[in-house]
Amino acid sequence: MRLDALVTAFEAGNFAQVRREAPKLAAESGDEAVKRAADVLLVRTKADPVAGALIGIAATLLIVLSAWWIAHGGPK
Clarify whether residues 19 and 52 are in a common domain: no
Which structural domain, as residue segments, surrounds residue 59?
47-76
Average pLDDT over residues 25-47: 92
Considering the domain architecture, whether residues 53 and 41 belong to the same structural domain is answered as no
Taking phi over 0 as left and psi of -120 to 50 as alpha, with beta for the rest, 73 belongs to left
Confidence of residue 51 (pLDDT cuts 50, 70, 90): very high
Average pLDDT over residues 53-63: 98
Residue 19 sits in the same domain as residue 1 = yes
Query: Rounded to 5, what percent of the chain is helix, strand, coil?
Result: 80, 0, 20
Torsion angle defined by CA atoms of residues 26, 32, 34 and 35, in that order, rounded to the nearest 10 degrees: 30
Say what the pTM is.
0.65
